[in-house]
Structure 1
Amino acid sequence: MCHIAGVEAGAVSDGVGARLLAARTARGLSQRRLAEPAYTSAYVSAVELGHRRPSAEALRFFAERLGIDDDELATGIPAGLAAELRLHLTEARRHWSAGAPAVAVAAYQQVRERAGAAGLTELVGLALQGLGRCAQQAGELTQAIAHYSAAERELAEHPLPTRVPSIVGQATCHALAGRLREAVFLLTSTIDALERADLTDPDAVLLLHSGLVSPYTQLGLHADAARAAEVAIALAPRVSDPERVAAMHIRVAATYLTQGKPSLAEASLAKAHDLYSRLDLRTELGYCRWSLGYTHARTGKLDEAAREFAAAREVLVAAGAAFQVLRLDCEIADVLRRQGRPHEAKVLLNNTLAAIDPADDLMAVSDIHRQLGLLLVTEGDVVAAEDHYRAAVALLEQADAALELAVTCRLLGDLLSHLGRHAEATAVYRTGLLATEGASPLLLGTDRPAASFHANQWDQS
């Protein structure tokens, strides 16, 4: 006996009818042959015309008769497409890590288009996150933020933890551009939202807290940075993604360094290196070696630092990470200067300065000006040195980098005081003092505070 159980009368067509018609005619079936014995040809006709929407039971019946997946008939998404696209996302991620960013971008774009056509919003969001990562490494911070923001919108109907990598990506780009307080606001407000919703996803919470370490440190909020690092470390055993744990260890190492604990920093970086090695993530290993070189440089191990920086640079050049290579060159120049090779350092810094737009990386450009000031003071060219110090101060005043500003003001104030311009020196010192509240004395006494290496690594994975 025929029946029409589960039918919604007058339902608006949602594409099921068109798919049913296409599949039926492709197989040479009449409406009657498709319908019987459970349904009528009139019912099939009504579904195909969009006048009726079949129940789940009816969909399963028709799909079985047609030899297709019932979800494919209901949604139009081919069976296995989601799994296939997830595999392509993994491959794109591998291409990015292996130093083929153009291939990765093309793969992410393809997934975005195919997933978008199929209505797979989660995969569209993940593809946009990947595009954001690629743009970020290329130094295209505005484009990266646009991709991350688009990913967040695409994932709006998904649970908040799914959107966290997009939010962390935006925050990292804001921090790189010197908008540190904006980065902190994004991260802390998301942590608050997770707590209000009672969503205790350890992967998401670790990502957010480890992301706070760098901007807190650059703001001079070392106690807050240490607390964020402690939360991240405590969460690590519960986190399922080893890549996120590795990135966390890199960020936490920065906190140990600001606390004057280089041995703990090196141990943390060794853990990151081990995890990245197991995962065979080449580009990430390059960032890890960059961070280890930074740690060596801050503890006076200049030869070891030079070796690690050279190894990191080789990896990043191969990865096509031109923006990151320029930032690394700032660190290499610092080591050259401290090794007594001022001419090489000066050439490298001037070349790097010519290649970086302050709008793309305000922090790196201010660091270059500060280093050039140090070199010129040594050469006795105090006029040019003052110009570079003032350029660095002006840039840092646009940002929220309290620690960097304080150190640069100290250097400029010392120069002005040496020149007998005490009133000007006092004004500059005052500017620096206003920025030093909560800053670590270990860092205020250095020429370059430990606030930059942990911004070179991100964890949107």
Structure 2
Amino acid sequence: MAKRDDPRTIGRRVQRLRRERGLTQRQLAEPAYTSAYVSTLEAGRVRPSDEALHHLAGRLGVAFEELATGRPAHLATDLRLRLTEAQRTLALGEAEQAAVQYTGLLGEAEAHELVEEQATAQLGLGECRLETGDLTAARAHFERAEQTLADASLPARVPARRGRAVAHYLAGELRYAVYLLESTLDELNLGGLHDPDALLLLYTASIGPYMDLGAQARAAQAAELALALAPQVGDPALIARMHRSVARTLLAEGRIAEADASLAKAAEMYRQLKIRTELANCRWMRGYVYAQNGDLARAEEELRAAQAMLASHRAALYSSQVAVELADVLHRRGSSEEASELLRGVLGGLSPERGAVHAAAAHRLLGIIAEDARDTEAAEEHYVRAMSLLERAGAAGDLADLCRLLGDLLRRTGRTEAALDAYRTGLGHRTAGTTTLGPAPAHPLL
């Protein structure tokens, strides 16, 4: 039940409605109350009981909630319906249009002090900003959503916490993203708050940061727990997202067919739900699977389709990330010039604060292309830039690989001592990828 207004505000409302309907105080009061009671109530000198308000609401022809709070009847229901429509707009890839809808709905929810609807609108705005690559604004919206729900249970706050973690992850702050996710998992599991939807959301979100940090064992464990939780979850979009994330761990373990099957399940769900951006992300991941398996023609087809879907809906950050994967496939297929052009275009939209891991991947690939063209100076410059980005992000697994590439380049150009230093640094990062995260989060009671 929504919080009632104070007696003075209710009294003024009763008086206004009574006069609009041409009723005297006696006509409004009878047969259950007296005109003196209505006079006292309208003056704000008495707090009416629920029974009295129900009587007055019936006589005035308004809903009890409208008389008690000033909110139009069914306002919350109508707002929730329109929030669902905004969510559907976002699902179709129209992030800017959805943001306009969410902004208007947030204003209405704030005007009528509807807490849950305010939080839902803030979450929607956060997702819109993730889609368009405005990570600072996304974090701010998720933080406001969590503040709005400060008095709610932890499972209710999990979508906002997960949104914050994803925004930090996309900005290249991998360790902080993992900290947010793991600390929330611990709070849920140690507190006995077994909420399958909340747990699945967190485990699914943790897979990407774990993989980029080089913590494959934790990523695989998160995927295993997500799969175990899935039968208890009723939200098909959440299940589809889980299948897409789990595919990463299957791929890392060399289980190509299973990864492809997992992505096929996710893609079919997204088609049924008409969630275009997530469907594009599925095609992106399938392209990556095909590339890892050496099927470059199919990889190029899937990645071009994903990029076209994302670019047409202004999903700038995700589109840039797909472009890096596509450039790798193009280079491997002998189209290095097209790959270089694509990568240089991508780097204009990425930065240390926005897609750091993929910006590093772009520099790494440009370095490899430069090496193939025997331009060792340009190759070294790109490798060093990539290392700087990955060090800030803490992406240990990628750093180890990059140190090997740089070491090989230095060795081939006769700088043996510098090459040995690069190899040693790479070994240090390879070890760090499995030892610096601290204890794994507590497991749920499945």
Q: CA deviation at 1:381?
A: 0.4
Structure 2 residue aligned with 1:176: 170
Structure 2 residue aligned with 1:327: 321
Structure 2 residue aligned with 1:164: 158
Which of 98, 101, 110 does residue 104 from structure 1 map onto?
A: 98
In the TM superposition, 1:92-131 aligns within 5 A as 92-131=86-125
Instruction: Report the AA paired with residue 316 of structure 2.
Output: A
**Could you say if the C-alpha distance between residues 78 and 196 of structure 1 is closer, same or farther in structure 2, counting changes exceeding 3 Å?**
farther
Which of 376, 392, 400 does residue 398 from structure 1 map onto?
A: 392
CA distance in 2, matches of 1:203, 1:332: 33
Instruction: Report the AA paired with residue 31 of structure 1.
Output: Q
Normalization by structure 1: what TM-score?
0.90
1:316 is the counterpart of 2:279: no
Contact 1:221 1:438 in 2 (8 A): no
**Could you say if the C-alpha distance between residues 24 and 145 of structure 1 is closer, same or farther in structure 2, counting changes exceeding 3 Å?**
same
CA distance in 2, matches of 1:258, 1:116: 46
Instruction: Report the AA paired with residue 133 of structure 1.
Output: E
1:78 is the counterpart of 2:72: yes
Normalization by structure 2: what TM-score?
0.93
Contact 1:121 1:154 in 2 (8 A): yes
Q: CA deviation at 1:139?
A: 0.8
Which of 240, 256, 279 does residue 250 from structure 2 map onto?
A: 256
SS at match of 1:355: coil
Which of 146, 167, 187 does residue 181 from structure 2 map onto?
A: 187
Q: CA deviation at 1:283?
A: 2.2
Contact 1:222 1:438 in 2 (8 A): no
User: Which deviates the most, 178-187 or 356-365?
Assistant: 356-365
1:33 is the counterpart of 2:22: no
CA distance in 1, matches of 2:179, 2:44: 49
Percent identity between the aligned chains?
Answer: 47
**Could you say if the C-alpha distance between residues 256 and 19 of structure 1 is closer, same or farther in structure 2, counting changes exceeding 3 Å?**
same
CA distance in 1, matches of 2:354, 2:432: 28
**Structure 1 unaligned residues grouped into runs of 5+:** 1-10, 441-461
What's the RMSD between the two structures over aligned residues?
Answer: 1.6
Structure 1 residue aligned with 2:294: 300
Q: Deviations over 1:67-112 (max 9, x none)?
A: 1111221122222111111111111112112232222111101110
Which of 134, 144, 168 does residue 140 from structure 1 map onto?
A: 134
Instruction: Report the AA paired with residue 417 of structure 2.
Output: A
Structure 2 residue aligned with 1:234: 228
1:209 is the counterpart of 2:197: no
User: Which deviates the most, 398-407 or 24-33?
Assistant: 24-33
SS at match of 2:7: coil
Q: CA deviation at 1:267?
A: 0.7
1:345 is the counterpart of 2:320: no
Instruction: Report the AA paired with residue 337 of structure 1.
Output: H
CA distance in 1, matches of 2:433, 2:400: 9
Structure 2 residue aligned with 1:46: 40
1:386 is the counterpart of 2:413: no
Which of 211, 222, 225 does residue 216 from structure 2 map onto?
A: 222
Structure 2 residue aligned with 1:8: none
CA distance in 2, matches of 1:147, 1:330: 28
Task: Report the count of equivalent residues.
Answer: 430
Contact 1:101 1:319 in 2 (8 A): yes
CA distance in 1, matches of 2:24, 2:232: 56
CA distance in 1, matches of 2:70, 2:212: 50
Which of 415, 424, 433 does residue 418 from structure 2 map onto?
A: 424
CA distance in 2, matches of 1:272, 1:338: 28
Q: CA deviation at 1:19?
A: 2.3
Structure 1 residue aligned with 2:351: 357
Q: CA deviation at 1:155?
A: 1.3
* Greater RCO, 1 or 2 (C-alpha within 8 Å, sep 6+): 1
CA distance in 1, matches of 2:154, 2:121: 17
Q: Deviations over 1:189-246 (max 9, x none)?
A: 1112223442211111100111111111111111111111111101111101110000
**Could you say if the C-alpha distance between residues 439 and 190 of structure 1 is closer, same or farther in structure 2, counting changes exceeding 3 Å?**
closer
1:91 is the counterpart of 2:104: no
Contact 1:243 1:276 in 2 (8 A): yes
Structure 2 residue aligned with 1:273: 267
SS at match of 1:393: helix
CA distance in 2, matches of 1:430, 1:25: 85
**Could you say if the C-alpha distance between residues 70 and 436 of structure 1 is closer, same or farther in structure 2, counting changes exceeding 3 Å?**
same
Q: CA deviation at 1:12?
A: 5.1
SS at match of 1:345: helix
Q: CA deviation at 1:185?
A: 1.1
CA distance in 2, matches of 1:279, 1:260: 30
CA distance in 1, matches of 2:179, 2:128: 24
Instruction: Report the AA paired with residue 203 of structure 1.
Output: D
Contact 2:370 2:376 in 1 (8 A): yes
Q: CA deviation at 1:41?
A: 2.1
